[in-house]
Chain A
Amino acid sequence: MTIGIPRSMFYYYFNKKWKYFFDYLNINTIISPKTNREILDNGIKLSTDEMCLSLKSYIGHVDYLKDKCDYILIPRIDNYGRKEQTCTNFLAIYDIINNIFDIKILDYNIDLENNETELEGLLKLSKILKKTKSEIKKAYSYACTMEGKEKKKTIIDNMNKLSSTKTKILLIGHSYNLYDSLIGVPIIKYLEKLNCEIIYSDLFDYKSTKDIVSKYSKNLYWKYSKQNISSLKYIDKVDGIIFLSTFPCGLDSLVNELVFRKINKPYLNLILDDLGGIAGIETRIESFVDIFEY
């Protein structure tokens, strides 16, 4: 049995956990390649206009995998507790994919408000995966430990960058945008070319930065948005902030706007739609970085 994992959306939050989990259980996985033009174009063809660029890309990744595996892994995430919801897409992707493609989906729920934990969800897969519940439990706890260790390291690296002597740019965006090879990576590469130190909004210890969110809004209930803006705890240590989002992200359009009005730092708001070329983006980034040099 081979399980397909689209390299998009959930992948950027769960890839390590999934890797250790399936490796431990000795189950084959296939991950779609880094997003390329063909994947994105196929995704755009199969999606509707209202979907955000990231979701269109996700659909393209599923399209790539559809004939190459037995199941596609798609969790359905509602919330991580009260006021810790995810974007509706994270809840809806399962149904969207089910409607577009005729494929088998391996799905599980995360809905902590209704006591549906991640482990609970994975345990329900035991029949399909042909593993016993105790095997899954063991694999899950192994995956969590290993992921935790690696995460700690990346958090320390990210924190260390705050004391760099280069121009420090805090890059605020969703993980699935920041590390996508067509969305965030060209921007990151260009910033590195300009000799900037990039601090990532999603690589902080959310437990310790969480409190700062109420400074910007007391009513936000989107976990990943809250996590991103909680990085503003270190706003005094960076030179400038770049907000990166994909059109038409509902969460970002509200949350970023709230933040713009309350920060006193140079910031750049980049909203990407279908990506024709990087020239316009380069102009904006270069002139933004020039602020700190001239």
Chain B
Amino acid sequence: MSESDASDASDGGETDDAGTDGDGDDGDDGEEGWPEEAIELVQAIADTKFVLSQRYAEWMLAGPSLEDDIGGASAAQDEAGHVRQLFRLLAGEGREQGWLEGNREPAEFANAAPLDAASGSWTDHLVSVAVSDRAAWYLLDSIVHEDFSGLGEKIGEDEFFHLEYHDARLETLAADEPRALQSALGRTLPGALAFIGPADYDDGADPLVDTGFTDRSVTAIREGFLAYFDDCFAGTDVSLDAIDRHAPEIDEWNGTRRRVGEGEIEASTLDQLTGRKNELYRIQ
């Protein structure tokens, strides 16, 4: 898909609640579009990265060290770049550009739940971005559709450094602030597991594996995700034993927003994401 293809969907025309361009097709006439479940998966990954970019930016002048500030600024820029490309693909699948970029209600965002609220402490911030960024990467890495050829690899180059940074910081927090870290993990891991997907999507029944859009089931991704944290905190005072590690059942899981229950980003976060207060300075 080219830039010009994407811009065709940015005409600000009528859209339905899902942000599609309203003509009922897949936005790419003459070619077979992605399955609806795939569009929702990529939307959730993109929205998570959209909010991640904001959360990283919020702490890029407030981290405990200059290295943390620089790392946060760099990650924020990376995530914004990933979002730009994922939105481009979603626009090619019929999602309206203005809707994608934030002209929607907070409840229409499908970001990972741990990112809903700005964090009040460094530990809470680090844990919420670490679990959300890792979960989003694992989901993205499972996509084998040709539209992601090269794109996933390029994003992976950035994510290598994000995850390496998280690894180092989680290790030091496990040594210095095990109680605060464990408390933050207890609050965020269930939301990250819900974002990965429901318990029902296993190796025998995962709709996106069945269509060939992804190459591994939600269950395999969840097991890899939990195994990482088990390994990360082995030998430390942090334990995941008391944390709810269960994935949601399909009948309680919202497949569009990849979560259980309500919850959404704050209105102030949406204002920041869309730059509404800076519209006067926008270069058209």
A is bound by B: no
